[in-house]
Amino acid sequence: MSVWSPLRATLREMRRQGCALPIWWRDDDAVAATPALERLTRLSVRLRVPVHLAVIPGALEGSLAPFIADTPALVPVVHGWRHVNHAPEGAKKAEFGHPRAAAPEELEAGLATLRAAFGTRTMPMFVPPWNRLTPSLMPDIATAGYAAVSTYGPRETSPPAPGITQINTHIDPIDWRGTRGLVDQTTLVARLTATVRARLTKQADATEPLGLLTHHLVHTPEVWDFAERCLAELLDGGAEVARVI
C-alpha cells in the first residue's frame, strides 16, 4: 500500500460528498533571484499552481523585480519588514508578534516597497515572519492597505478584522527543530489527511484554501520531491487552485 493511500481515500470521500477542496501555495523568505527560485518557478509552471512568494521588503535585492516581471507564476506578498526577531527575551521568535512603536510604519513601508518593485503584481497580503502576529496590529494592517494576512494553522471562522481576510497555510514539510530536512513522509501524509478530513467533519473551515508552505532557499532534494508530489496528489484527487483574494 502506498504511503499516499490514506489521503487518496479521503479525497475520494470528499468527491463522493461533493465537497470542494481549494488549495494554494505560499513560499517564504524571498529576497533575490536564485537558482532555487528558478527551480521553484519551474515546478509551479509544471503543476500549474501559482506560488505566493513572501518577499522580505527590507532585504529586497535588485535581481528579484525583473525576475518576477518575467514570471507570471509568482505572486509577491509582503513578508514582514526585515525578518528581524523583536520578541521579548524568552519568547518565541517574532517580528510582529508583540506591540512595537515602529510596527505601523514598517507595515506601510513593506507594502510600499513591494508596490514600488513589482507594481500591480503585488498582492496586499501580510505574512508575518515566523507566522506570529499579535491581534493588536490588525487595525494597523488594515490602515496600511492590506486585504489579507497569512500565518499557519486552521483559521478562526470569523475574520480577524473588518476588511481583512485570513488565509493560512497548513502543511510545512521541513523538520525545523530536527534535521531541517523532510519530516517523515508517513507523518506528513497523516497530517495532511487529517487536515482534509477535518473539513469533511466540519471541524475546520472548509472554505479556507488548504495551504502548502515551502521555503525554497533551504530545500533538500527530499523536500522538493515532497512538495511536488503533495500538490500533484491533491490535484489528481480533485482539489482546485484557489483564487486567494
Q: Could you tell me the domains of the chain? A: 5-240 (3.20.20.370)
% residues pLDDT > 70 (the chain): 100
State the pLDDT at residue 156.
Answer: 85
**Residue-by-residue DSSP string for 150-181:** --BSPPPSS-SBTTBEE--B-B--B-TTTTSS
State the pLDDT at residue 245.
Answer: 85
Burial class (CB in 10 A: 0-12, 13-18, 19+), 115: middle
The model's pLDDT over 41-83, given as tens digits with 9 standing for 90+, comes to 999 999 999 999 999 999 999 999 999 999 999 999 999 999 9
Residues 6+ apart with CB under 8 A from 46: 228
Burial class (CB in 10 A: 0-12, 13-18, 19+), 27: buried
pLDDT surpasses 80 at 111: yes
DSSP state of 88: P
> What values do phi and psi take at 98, rounded to 5?
-145, 150
Give the whole-angstrom CA distance, residue 65 versus residue 40. 16
Residues 6+ apart with CB under 8 A from 155: 166, 167, 168, 205, 208
pLDDT band at 229 (very low <50, low <70, confident <90, very high): very high
Q: What is the mean pLDDT of the chain?
A: 96
State the pLDDT at residue 24.
Answer: 98
- The secondary element (H helix, E strand) that includes residue 69 is helix 64-69
State the pLDDT at residue 1.
Answer: 72
| 107: Cα separation from own chain's centroid | 18
State the pLDDT at residue 47.
Answer: 97
Contact between 29 and 219 (Cβ < 8 Å): no
State the pLDDT at residue 107.
Answer: 98
Contact between 234 and 193 (Cβ < 8 Å): no
State the pLDDT at residue 161.
Answer: 86
Q: In the structure grid, which three cell numbers stand for residue 24, read together?
A: 494554494
Rounded mean pLDDT, 213-233 = 98
The model's pLDDT over 153-200, given as tens digits with 9 standing for 90+, comes to 999 877 888 889 999 999 999 999 999 999 999 999 999 999 999 999
DSSP state of 30: E
State the pLDDT at residue 230.
Answer: 98
Contact between 204 and 195 (Cβ < 8 Å): yes
pLDDT surpasses 90 at 225: yes
